[in-house]
A and B are shown apart, each in its own frame.
Chain A
Amino acid sequence: MIKKFFFRKSSNKKYQNRKNLDDFDEYKIIKTLQKEYDEVFIIKTNTKIKSNDFIEHQETINYNTEYFVRVLNFQKNEIKQKITILNDLRNLIYALKNVEFNTIEGSFFSSKSVKKVDNDFSRKLRNSSEYLNDLDKASKNKKIKSIETSYVEATEEVFNENSYYKYSYNDFIISYYLVQGTGSLSFNHSFPYLHLDKILQKLDDDLKEVDFVAKQRSIDLSKVKVVKFSPSLFHHFASELIFESLRDANIYKNLTFLNENVEVSDQLKFIDVPFKGMNNLNYDFEFTKVQPHNILKNGKFSPFVSKFYLSALRYKFKNSNLDINLYGHYFGKTSYRTLLMQSMPKKHEWYNFYNPSQLAEEDTLVIDSVMGLHTANSKTTEFSVVIDNAYFNNTYTQGQIISGNLLKLLKNIIIEKEVELNSDYRMHSVSFSSKDLNLVQN
């Protein structure tokens, strides 16, 4: 039985006080299109980004508007879909006329209704000229090779026949790159609001640390007893191997190690939390309410979290309510994204920010970053990468090759200290016996 999406009229007071649905240009277009299509979705994104590069002395103001439009026709046991992406709705009729339907076999699992929302995650920054001046002063240090900030104000609006939702958000993004001799340190973080005091403190600490990094030397690998992945490296592994394996297209192509039978250490838990933190979201772009997902619990992966609504139909999966395109590329399309991935620890020991030396223990190689992890095999989880920054017995080092199999490692993992990598996402450092990994001098 094929059912149509069903939505209630908006109950959002702010929105109702301001305008009627019919006053939006988008709804006028939806009414025209309804003569030809059973269902019309329009997603409009407005962004204003102000960026500063304090070393290059460059300033950018970017105003951007994008529309993602999806129309559907329902027929017996199949759905026909057209998608077009543009920045001017005046081109929409032409685009839809010229793009072909593709067909999705199957039927909807259930009809849906949503509450109307008008989320506003905007937070006030302190006076912008004040933070610009602070960072401009800090950038005079010769070890700083780049220091950049971006302030993003964005609004997403989703329109459908009887529904509307809108949410706004702010991001503050800062990155810097420090070089002293052959040593370097980089920092890149996003915040829903500004923690400038913490950042300046971190910058100050890193300016001291990079002198230490510059004194790096080769190490005797035979002395390494334990290998520790820093929280950012563990997150990098999770992103490249676990989340790449969760993508619907990779599941469809069977390019994933995940299945219900895969078991790893029961100490480890991964959860994706969509309605907390910077990537706040109550409803996905198919008007489906989002929900937290246990990606890994009690040692077992949930292999089907990536199934969003239309993919679910295409690939005959169950919907996981995560069809979003929050920072989608202009020519992109909606697809599964993790929103706020966290590893939930059994131990808690918080750092706001860290350097590898803070995680050190005797005869333990603390690896903070590697090169080439994206070339790892998401089917077998085998990887072979080059260490870019590591710490061992009071010295920094780099250049060694490390290889192994992540799945095997996760079976014998030891959870270490938890770190808050930015204001709202958490990850651990984790340890393995050096016997479980291959270390080779480059």
Chain B
Amino acid sequence: MTPESFISFVDEINEFLSRKVRFDYSINASYRKKSGLEINNGKVSETLLGSNYGLGIRIITSQKEYLISLNNFYNWKQKLYSEIEKIRGKEIEYFISSYKKEIYFGNDVFKEPSFKDLKDLATLDLKEDYHSKTIYSGELNIFASRNSRILQYFPRSVFALEVFSKKIQDYGFKKDAKISYIDKLNVEKTKEDALKQMKDLEIAKPFSGGKYDVLSNSILTGVFIHEALGHASESDLVYKEESCLKGKLNQKIAAENVNVYDSALGLDDYLWGTFSYDDEGIIAQRTQIINNGVLKNYLVSLRMYHKFAKNLCLKPTGNSRIGNYNEFPLVRMTNTYIEKGDYSKEELFEELRNGIYMVDSRGGQVNTATGSFQFKAALGYVVKNGKILYPIKGTSLKGNILETLNNIVAIGKEYGEDSSGTCGKNSASVPVGGKNPEIIIKSAIVGGNDD
């Protein structure tokens, strides 16, 4: 099935549903083609080309929501009709959009790169052992309802690299992910950064945990603001009383210099979490979560708007997203970031004086209900008198969201690297991003591997 015939097929199903379903409904359909290649030390170890399409039909009644999804369209009318017939309940008006849009984040998104191009990109001139991966994915996401049809085309490219050190049996890891064709990937910088991380790990010393002032680099700041604050601001978690931000609207929750946004519009580029319409047909927007330390907004889906957010005078923020067509949309972040401040890099080190400079992320976890979190840095550096002394390994940042937000004392004046990645929630994964400045957190709890 070609993308064009898939669109026609979705139209046919939409027409069928508009006649057979008396409730408000929507269709989320996706068509994806993916090609990828992995290289171990200059040799191709894996090649993959896959395609995947399918659709989910969401039907809303006053009592219950239903989702019927399929990717095998044999006998589709019979399958759908038998499920639709079982649905009972009263009708409600739910979807508010009425659009016919086609949005392109790149041209010819289904024109895959050749394996030679993928191989050329991922083959590196390195003395060290390395493992690299290049993936290109062309995606078409369709939202359709009785009154709407929105098509969004995305080209997605990822280059990931691990450089191994035989000496310490550890590795430096970096990646670059962009909404673009593969030619925009910055392989050279990714290589240099991964190599530097590996070299610093080779000489890194073990470290004892404790309370330290911390300068967090842009990637780790991105992880902190996404995991710790972003998830807690998702209105479905607030509604289910699984967020420490419940009941804190218009209250001061962070230091006065802190402004936090979630923006599906990107920042100065198509960041990884960018789109134009969310998966309930709501137009994408830039939402200010924290304004000068005060919590101003939750991230609100249309569903959460109907459930409770309208009572708080909040509007849908265009944050309703699916990872795949067979999932109900959930409230999800897009590109989340702290607004840049006014400290130069030198001034940040001067302000820190003595403490730990924590760099990049190797995973973490947060309990949004209690507000406690733990994020492991890829690497740390001991800073004395505003100067980096030596690298340390095994460091992690721990603490409580609200305490930590109140302990941010300085914010850099430049946005760093894009902390793009995949965010998981209830088994659904969506692309997210964000460019963040470096920040100083006073009296942070830093875990070490030599505690």
Which A residues contact B (CB, under 8 angstroms)?
46, 55-66, 82-88, 90-91, 95, 98-103, 145-146, 177, 179, 182, 184, 252-255, 314, 330-331, 333, 371-372, 374-375, 377, 379-380, 382, 384-386, 388, 398-399, 401, 403, 438, 440, 442
Q: A58-B65, A59-B64 are in contact. Are A99 and B449 (CB under 8 A)?
A: no
A56 to B1, CA, bound (A): 35
| Residues of chain B in range 298-350 having any CB-CB distance to chain A below 8 Å | 326, 328
A222 to B70, CA, bound (A): 57
Contact (Cβ within 8 A) A253 B48: no
A230 to B328, CA, bound (A): 34
Contact (Cβ within 8 A) A331 B65: no
Contact (Cβ within 8 A) A60 B50: no
Q: A65-B71, A87-B54, A331-B52 are in contact. Are A60 and B328 (CB under 8 A)?
A: yes
Q: Kindly list the 10 A-B residue pairs having the minimum CB-CB distance in the complex, ordered from nearest.
A: A372-B374, A375-B376, A99-B49, A65-B72, A100-B115, A85-B50, A384-B447, A371-B365, A63-B70, A403-B451
* Mask of B45-86 contacts with A, CB within 8 angstroms, 1/0: 111111111100000000111111111100000010001000
**Interchain nearest-CB distance for B223 vs A (Å):** 11
Contact (Cβ within 8 A) B71 A255: no
Contact (Cβ within 8 A) B48 A388: no
**Interchain nearest-CB distance for B348 vs A (Å):** 25
**Interchain nearest-CB distance for B397 vs A (Å):** 10
Q: Tell me if B386 is interfacial: C-beta within 8 Å of chain A.
A: no
Which of A59, A65, A102, A372 touches B364 (beta carbons < 8 Å)? A372
B residues near A442, Cβ cutoff 8 Å: 372, 398-399, 445
Contact (Cβ within 8 A) A333 B48: yes
**Interchain nearest-CB distance for B163 vs A (Å):** 11
Which B residues contact A (CB, under 8 angstroms)?
1, 34-35, 37, 40, 43-54, 63-72, 79, 83, 112, 115, 131, 162, 164, 169-171, 209, 240-242, 326, 328, 362-367, 369-370, 372-376, 394, 396, 398-399, 445, 447-449, 451
**Interchain nearest-CB distance for B202 vs A (Å):** 14
B residues near A102, Cβ cutoff 8 Å: 44-47
Contact (Cβ within 8 A) B170 A379: yes
**Interchain nearest-CB distance for B174 vs A (Å):** 16
A137 to B68, CA, bound (A): 25
B residues near A60, Cβ cutoff 8 Å: 66-69, 326, 328
A58-B66, A100-B115, A398-B370 known, 20 other contacts, Cβ within 8 Å: A55-B240, A58-B328, A60-B67, A62-B68, A62-B326, A63-B71, A91-B51, A99-B48, A179-B241, A371-B373, A375-B362, A375-B376, A384-B396, A384-B448, A384-B449, A388-B367, A399-B370, A399-B372, A403-B448, A403-B449
A83 to B43, CA, bound (A): 17
A residues near B53, Cβ cutoff 8 Å: 87-88
B residues near A386, Cβ cutoff 8 Å: 372, 374, 398
A residues near B449, Cβ cutoff 8 Å: 377, 380, 382, 384, 403
Contact (Cβ within 8 A) A59 B65: yes
A residues near B373, Cβ cutoff 8 Å: 371
Q: Would you give 20 A-B contacts (Cβ < 8 Å), ordered by A?
A: A58-B65, A58-B67, A60-B328, A61-B68, A62-B67, A83-B48, A88-B51, A98-B35, A99-B48, A177-B242, A182-B370, A371-B373, A372-B376, A372-B396, A377-B394, A384-B209, A384-B448, A386-B374, A388-B367, A442-B445
Contact (Cβ within 8 A) B369 A184: yes
Contact (Cβ within 8 A) A84 B48: yes
Q: A179-B369, A386-B398, A398-B370 are in contact. Are A61 and B69 (CB under 8 A)?
A: yes
Contact (Cβ within 8 A) A331 B83: no
Contact (Cβ within 8 A) A331 B34: yes
Q: A100-B44, A372-B365 are in contact. Are A95 and B50 (CB under 8 A)?
A: yes
Query: Which B residue's beta carbon lies closest to that of A83?
Result: B48
Q: A99-B47, A102-B46, A371-B367 are in contact. Are A63 and B396 (CB under 8 A)?
A: no
A residues near B398, Cβ cutoff 8 Å: 372, 386, 401, 442
Query: Which A residue's beta carbon lies closest to that of B328?
Result: A58
A residues near B112, Cβ cutoff 8 Å: 98
Contact (Cβ within 8 A) B64 A58: yes
A252 to B129, CA, bound (A): 11
Which of A83, A177, A371 touches B374 (beta carbons < 8 Å)? A371
Query: Which B residue's beta carbon lies closest to that of A82?
Result: B47
**Interchain nearest-CB distance for B82 vs A (Å):** 10
A309 to B65, CA, bound (A): 45
B residues near A403, Cβ cutoff 8 Å: 209, 447-449, 451
A254 to B131, CA, bound (A): 12
Which of B45, B162, B164, B370 touches A314 (beta carbons < 8 Å)? B45
B residues near A385, Cβ cutoff 8 Å: 374
Contact (Cβ within 8 A) A57 B63: yes
Q: A58-B328, A371-B374 are in contact. Are A87 and B71 (CB under 8 A)?
A: yes
Contact (Cβ within 8 A) B47 A401: no
Contact (Cβ within 8 A) A87 B52: yes
Q: A372-B376, A388-B367 are in contact. Are A57 and B131 (CB under 8 A)?
A: no
A376 to B52, CA, bound (A): 34
Which of A46, A331, A401 touches B48 (beta carbons < 8 Å)? A331
B residues near A58, Cβ cutoff 8 Å: 64-67, 328
**Interchain nearest-CB distance for B50 vs A (Å):** 4
Which of A84, A100, A374 touches B50 (beta carbons < 8 Å)? A84
Contact (Cβ within 8 A) A88 B1: yes
Contact (Cβ within 8 A) B48 A146: no
Q: A63-B72, A379-B170, A384-B209 are in contact. Are A374 and B451 (CB under 8 A)?
A: no
Q: A58-B328, A86-B52 are in contact. Are A255 and B44 (CB under 8 A)?
A: no
Query: Which B residue's beta carbon lies closest to that of A91?
Result: B51
Contact (Cβ within 8 A) B242 A401: no
A371 to B43, CA, bound (A): 38
A28 to B54, CA, bound (A): 25
Q: A382-B449, A403-B449 are in contact. Are A63 and B69 (CB under 8 A)?
A: yes
**Interchain nearest-CB distance for B28 vs A (Å):** 13
